[in-house]
């Protein structure tokens, strides 16, 4: 791994660090070190980085702003590629928006609303990146990324790049083709928006933001929704019905505000969160015979 580290430093691909604590890069503020942590400064440098990773057969994964992630206390083997500065460009041509994979979804939705364009209001409180939101088809308030995406620029695990159309992304609930069938990194996304009334759009954004602030615990470190909704049931309501809101294991707590959020209440570890997740699964199955599935992505060494 030292050889790879030195090689990437010499290639000047961007920020490169060894044994970087991922607690510094996740919204839950939990996670052990990555063997190698890389924040490429451009798409070209990301592709060059991937070439080195492939050459040395190093396991890898990409992250954006670190939401929807629970990283093991033991860290991650291999390389973690962070999409940030260098992949955060924005271009707007009429109603067609192109955004880099490292762009903050919240920031983007605010900027677009001020231009009187509709379509991203649902994203005003989603604390992730454009890349991550496309990867998992993020959504809220009755809409999701698939409703506005035209195409996405992907770097695949073999080092090749291509554009995938909305249909080729094979979107479904919180899922895309990138999660299993065709692993890759979202470099850019192109969205089709609609012209609208600026005041009405901003009002809808504010309404969504206020709702999230009043009902979800973003004042504490968390990863977003922990469980997928077992439709027509809702995960948060099931947790509440099971009497689990506020339940705590170690530094991890089910939010008293919303049953589908686990917060780092102070000194929380991944093992605490995992134990709490399992307790919720067991309790809800015992009471309602419903198998709960996690929406948060759990990664890293066992």
In the residue annotation, 293 being an active-site residue is answered as no
Given 20, 39, 188, 295, the catalytic residue: 295
> Could you give the C-alpha distances from 171 to 25, 146, 160, 271, in angstroms and in order?
27, 6, 21, 31
Phi, psi (degrees; rounded to nearest 5) at 40: -65, 150
- Convert 119-141 to b/e letters by CB count within 10 Å (16 or more is b): bbbbbbbbbbbbbbbbbbbbbbb
Give the containing element (helix H, strand E) for 16.
strand 14-21
Angle at 164 between CA 159 and CA 165, to 5 degrees: 175
In the residue annotation, 174 being an active-site residue is answered as yes
Helices 43-55 and 2-11 cross at an angle (nearest 10°) of 150
Given 65, 174, 204, 212, the catalytic residue: 174
| Residue 285 to residue 262: CA distance in whole angstroms | 19
Given 104, 113, 146, 225, the catalytic residue: 225
**DSSP assignments along 53-74, one per residue:** HHHTT--EEEESS-TTEEE-TT
Q: Which residues are marked as active site?
A: 174, 225, 295
């Amino acid at each position: 791994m030292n050889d790879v580290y030195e090689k990437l430093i010499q290639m000047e691909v961007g920020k490169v660090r060894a044994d970087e604590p991922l607690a510094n890069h996740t919204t839950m503020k939990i996670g052990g070190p990555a063997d190698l942590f890389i924040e490429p400064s451009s798409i070209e440098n990301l592709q060059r980085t991937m070439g080195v990773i492939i050459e040395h057969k190093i396991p890898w994964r990409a992250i954006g702003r670190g939401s929807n992630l629970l990283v093991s206390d033991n860290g991650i083997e291999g390389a973690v590629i962070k999409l940030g500065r260098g992949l955060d460009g924005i271009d707007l041509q009429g109603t067609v928006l192109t955004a880099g994979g490292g762009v903050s979804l919240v920031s983007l939705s605010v900027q677009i609303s001020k231009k009187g364009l509709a379509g991203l209001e649902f994203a005003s409180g989603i604390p992730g990146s454009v890349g991550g939101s496309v990867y998992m088809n993020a959504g809220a308030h009755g809409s999701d990324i698939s409703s506005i995406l035209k195409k996405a620029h992907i770097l695949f695990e073999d080092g090749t790049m291509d554009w995938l159309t909305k249909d080729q992304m094979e979107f479904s609930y919180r899922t895309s083709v990138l999660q299993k069938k065709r692993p890759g990194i979202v470099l850019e996304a192109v969205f089709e928006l609609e012209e609208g009334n600026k005041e009405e759009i901003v009002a809808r954004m504010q309404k969504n933001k206020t709702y999230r602030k009043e009902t979800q615990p973003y004042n504490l470190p968390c990863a977003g929704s922990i469980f997928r909704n077992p439709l027509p049931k809702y995960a948060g309501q099931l947790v509440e019905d099971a009497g689990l809101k506020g339940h705590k294991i170690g530094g991890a707590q089910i939010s008293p505000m919303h049953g589908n959020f686990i917060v780092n209440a102070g000194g929380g570890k991944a093992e605490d969160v995992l134990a709490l997740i399992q307790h919720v699964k067991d309790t809800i199955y015992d009471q309602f015979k419903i198998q709960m599935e996690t929406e948060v992505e759990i990664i890293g060494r066992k």
